[in-house]
Structure 1
Amino acid sequence: MSERSVTPARRRGLADEVADTVREAIFDGTYAPGAQLREVELSRALEVSRGPVREALLRLEREGLVHTAWHRGAFVVELSAADIAELDSLRGALEGLAVSLVAETADERGLTAIEAAADTMGRAGDAYAMVRADIAFHDAVYAAAGHRRLREAWQAIRSQVHLFLLTRVGVSDDLAHLPGEHRELAAALRAGDTDRAARLFADHRKHAFHLLTGGRTAAPYPGSERESG
């Protein structure tokens, strides 16, 4: 029998660092949707060769944050109406299961983490920090659900949902109501009220969807006129 061997793994640490840096630059508004990401400029700014930059951009493309066009280069994704509709429907399906699991089975540690994430939103210094805190809140919900494959499914679309919420910032910078909304979401989960929690989370998604699709006459999110105690 002939001996077999595997190919040595390539070290990808540098490409990981570049991907993290560019991702954060997208999330903090440095690179807006539609902005071009030039390999030469990125390699110069980050003081790395073009190889890790190219690899990092491919990774971000797989995450749905970047797209490449033949002979034009790489660009931050601009979500189309179809993209927004697909993300909204998939997020709704995943979140529906997560909310029911949390309301029915979450332990004290998971519920406390959700409440802490909601409180953090009230301390956000700007719209980009608010979006980051919003994503962290939903991270906490999926973690509290205790369903590994569900959490992995969320991770697969997490960056695109973050981009979705950043697109919302471009439409409306009136985000002051979000901390109150999320405290109400957390309270429904704490109470174990599955039906109410499911309804509130659905309304929360619907409001954001309507903002991005021109449905600005939609009824305001329930409870957005007041701050939960």
Structure 2
Amino acid sequence: MTEGVFPALTRQGLTEAVEQAIRRAILEGRLAAGERLVEARISEELGVSRAPVREALARLAQRGLVVSLANRGTFVVRLGPEDVGELFTLRVLLEGHAASCLASAGQLTELAYLEQLAESAQEAARVDNAEAAAERDLEFSAHLVGLAGSRRLLRIWQELSDQLRLALPGLGRLGSPAPAEGLRRVLDALRTRDPEAARRAMADHLARWRALWLRAVSEGG
């Protein structure tokens, strides 16, 4: 192999890699909510110095995934009912806007993948897998927001989604049916190109999910 194929890894690139490694561990549940994150242990496991780990944890704190407490350390965030309530208020605003924009644009050719995701969410709900249904619901929303065509809107939604995923395991422990049928009403409004109906359908759908997520964090806490 010719020398110089790969560029030297910069501090910024190293910090980004460490940040993504920790982020994945949190979102995949390998680092649990409330778990303490020890810089020395992380740096040893990843084979890097403590400086990029410290910088990565600071970035993750800005994204709302970890919290640093004076004289105690850094911990994976544990969501409470107030947190979930705020996140769903933002979801209603962002996803309602995205649904309205898509209905106004009338891009019916873009609905096929949304329909697949809605069916996957309903299938998970039919077998009482609320955690999987919630994952498919978030995928539906991510695609919907992406179709709105705003990179800033999508970036804000992705950070919100990451935070909400911290509470996903609690949904699986509830044993309650997931409200996946609301996505069909969102799709119906998109097909008829009715922006206000699309916004209302998304708000109604998220209101049902909000109640379930609130139960998950309340009973899990």
Structure-1-length-normalised TM-score: 0.73
Q: Contact 1:103/1:189 (CA < 8 Å) preserved in 2? A: yes
Matched, 1:75 2:75: yes
Q: Larger relative CO (CA 8 A, sep 6+): 1 or 2?
A: 2
What CA distance in whole angstroms lies between the structure 1 residues aligned with 2:25 and 2:13? 18
1:162: which partner in 2? 165
2:209 — aligned with what?
Answer: 208
Q: Which amino acid aligns with 2:53?
A: V
Whole-angstrom distance in 1 between the partners of 2:122 and 2:211: 23
Residue identity opposite 2:64 in structure 1: G
Cα offset, 1:28, TM superposition: 1.6
Q: Distance in 2 between matches of 1:43 and 1:128?
A: 32
Q: How does 1:69-218 map to 2 (within 5 A)?
A: 69-121=69-121, 130-164=133-167, 166=168, 168-169=170-171, 172-174=174-176, 178=180, 180-214=181-215
In terms of fraction of residues, the more helix-rich structure is 2
State the Cα distance separating 1:193 from its structure 2 match. Answer: 3.7
Residue correspondences, number: 205
- Cα distance between partner residues in 2 of 1:149 and 1:136: 18
Gaps of 5+ in 2: 1-9, 217-221
- Check 1:77–1:190 CA distance in 2 against 1; reply closer, same or farther (3 A cut): same
SS of equivalent to 1:213? helix
Which residues of structure 1 form unaligned runs of 5+?
Answer: 1-9, 216-229
CA contact (8 A) 1:107 1:144 kept: no
Whether the aligned pair in 2 keeps the contact of 1:102 and 1:145 (CA below 8 Å) is yes
8 Å CA contact 2:120, 2:136 repeated in 1: yes
Equivalent residue letter for 1:31: L
CA RMSD in angstroms comes to 3.1
The aligned residue for residue 3 of structure 2 is none
Distance apart, 1:162 and its partner CA? 2.8
Which residue of structure 2 aligns with residue 3 of structure 1? Answer: none
* Per-residue CA distance 1:11-31 (angstroms, 9 max, x = gap): 322221222122112112212
8 Å CA contact 2:133–2:178 kept in 1: the answer is: no
Q: Deviations over 1:58-90 (max 9, x none)?
A: 111111011011122111111122222221212
The match for 1:56 is: 56
| 1:12 equivalent in structure 2 | 12
Q: Which whole-Å CA distance do the structure 2 matches of 1:210 and 1:129 have between them?
A: 17
